[in-house]
Amino acid sequence: MRTLSHGIFRAFLATSLLLVSLATSAADDPLPSWNDGATKRAILDFVQRVTAPAGKDFVPAPERIAVFDNDGTLWSEQPMYVQVAFALDRIKALAPQHPEWREKQFFKAALEGDLKAVSQSGAKGLLELMMATHAGMTTEEFEQTVKDWLATARHPRFQRPYTECVYQPILELLAFLRASGFKTYIVSGGGVDFMRPWTEKVYGIPPEQVVGSSMKTKFELRDGKPALVRLPEIDFVNDKETKPVGIDRFIGRRPLLAFGNSDGDHQMLQWTAAGSGARFVGIVHHTDAERESAYDRASPIGRLDKALDEALAKGWTVVDMKSDWKTIFPPRDGR
């Protein structure tokens, strides 16, 4: 009986090892949309180092926090932030109920689709735009508005849903990190409530792992039923110096890996790089005008200047979109 059990055990063990070996072979390239080269090797090496239990750089799974900027890192941010496109469409939809907007220069520009005037209105104009379109409803009503808009809106150049203008190589990286025990987070300057309704489906990142800018909300009983109402007041802006603040507040651990694409991510990258032990800092450099966009030091949206200098000086990993990525976007739905 002992011998039989022993035999069964050995057979089972052999089968298991075979399965493991097959699995390893199938997963030999977890990043098929990345061209072979220094960038891809740097990513694979890093993940191998922090996950090898016997290695000196091993990090226990609960501490494997990976953070990604959203605009320009996970999806396209040109010719304008998707959330601004959303706000402009909301202005048009809400305009009939707000005749007073027609008198205001900024709203006039927005209604006429005068993008240049909109962007020239700067932070103050953008804030007015947000307050007018993102407040005054419950959190659930706003969530529905975002979902409805995304279902029909199309990227002006790529003519596909914005949620399909996401970077296939980064989707693969997110999945690879999760399979390697990482918890993946978004840390974005964009509105947390604009992202949460769709990030789980599109990126595999659940609502509770999205850190972003927010507006104040107020709890109240409406006809005895609890509601959270969105107020026209900024709560937190998660950008530049406040990205590490947001990471500390919402996650409470320093990331092991961080990816960004602009100076808005600079401090988050510095904060990550300064942690003890092995850390990975990556920048998506938009170098591909043909397939997506080419911009960096002089761009009004997603300017990449000081962070690029530090990346080059410190040997952070700079992804060259044109040469490092085989494909940019996922295959179209149904194709």
CB 280 within 8 A of CB 317: yes
Considering the complex, what minimum distance in angstroms separates the CB of residue 133 from its own copies?
A: 19
Interface with its own copies (CB under 8 A) = 4-5, 8, 11-12, 15, 62, 65, 139, 183, 192-193, 196, 200, 206-208, 210, 214, 216-219, 221, 225-226, 228, 235, 241-242, 244-245, 248-253, 267, 270-271, 274
Considering the complex, what minimum distance in angstroms separates the CB of residue 171 from its own copies?
A: 18
Considering the complex, what minimum distance in angstroms separates the CB of residue 242 from its own copies?
A: 7
Dihedral of CA atoms 263, 268, 273, 279 in degrees, nearest 10, equals: -120
Q: Distance between CA 148 and CA 144 in Å, rounded? A: 6
State how far Cα 123 lies from the chain centre: 22
110 or 177: CB nearest its own copies: 177
16 or 120: CB nearest its own copies: 16
Short-list 113, 87, 66, 324, CA closest to 190: 87
CB 119 within 8 A of CB 80: yes
99 or 219: CB nearest its own copies: 219
Considering the complex, what minimum distance in angstroms separates the CB of residue 12 from its own copies?
A: 6
DSSP H or E stretch at residue 68: strand 65-68
Q: Distance between CA 281 and CA 279 in Å, rounded? A: 7
State how far Cα 281 lies from the chain centre: 15
Considering the complex, what minimum distance in angstroms separates the CB of residue 184 from its own copies?
A: 12
Considering the complex, what minimum distance in angstroms separates the CB of residue 326 from its own copies?
A: 31
199 or 287: CB nearest its own copies: 199
Considering the complex, what minimum distance in angstroms separates the CB of residue 238 from its own copies?
A: 12
State how far Cα 157 lies from the chain centre: 21
219 or 298: CB nearest its own copies: 219
62 or 315: CB nearest its own copies: 62
**DSSP structural state of residue 75:** B
Inter-CA distances, 307 with 41, 74, 98, 295, Å: 22, 18, 42, 14
169 or 244: CB nearest its own copies: 244
For 280, residues 6+ apart whose C-beta sits below 8 A from its C-beta are: 42, 43, 46, 256, 257, 258, 272, 317
